[in-house]
Amino acid sequence: MSNYTKILIAIDLSEESLQVVNRGCAMAAEKAAEVHLIHVIEPLSFAYGGDIPMDFSGIQEEISDQARAQLAKVGTDYSVDGANQHTVFGRPEVEIHQMAEELGSDLIVVGSHGRYGLALLMGSTANGVLHGASCDVLAVRVGT
């Protein structure tokens, strides 16, 4: 196993994502690696394709505030410094790759639900992260 020095843990802030944080932090402790947490918020306009003539800025800001608060709690619970907690907007796989590059991460840890059938064909965040990463990716099976 590589000697990882900087680990980026990507979480969706669900209860299951704590399994991902546990695994990533355990690996970091073994290797004395620096830990960063990232949560990516998909803009509401992505979900609705801009077809609804509404101003989502207030709702988006509230979602962002709640996500930052939840990420801060996870960071506190796992002793991850506030400067190493990142809440960003965009497509998860794109933003995770970009953050890993910016930080010089040598490992990305993501959760995987082990989807099959139609869900697998449509893809997942873990799959997107795996196929575009310039560093190692650990997919932690969650929800089992």
Task: Tell me which of 36 and 44 has the higher pLDDT.
Answer: 36
Q: Quickly count: other Cβ atoms within 10 Å of residue 2's Cβ.
A: 9
Beta strands across the sheet bearing 6-10: 85-89, 34-41, 6-10, 107-112, 136-141
Percent composition of the chain: helix, strand, coil (DSSP 3-state, to 5)? 50, 20, 30
For tokens 């082990």, what's the residue? 114
Task: Domain ranges for the chain, please list them.
Answer: 6-141
Which helix (H) or strand (E) segment holds residue 130: the answer is helix 125-132
Q: Which residues contact 70 (CB under 8 A, 6 or more apart)?
A: 13, 39
Tell me the pLDDT of the chain averaged across its residues: 85
Pairing of strands 6-10, 34-41: parallel
Is 3.40.50.620 the CATH number for 6-141?
yes
Percent of the chain exceeding pLDDT 90 equals: 58
Do the Cβ atoms of 26 and 79 come closer than 8 Å? Answer: no
> Does the structure show a pLDDT above 80 at 50?
no
At 87, give phi and psi (nearest 5°).
-115, 120
Model pTM score: 0.85
95-138 pLDDT tens trace:
999 999 999 999 999 988 655 444 444 357 888 888 889 999 99
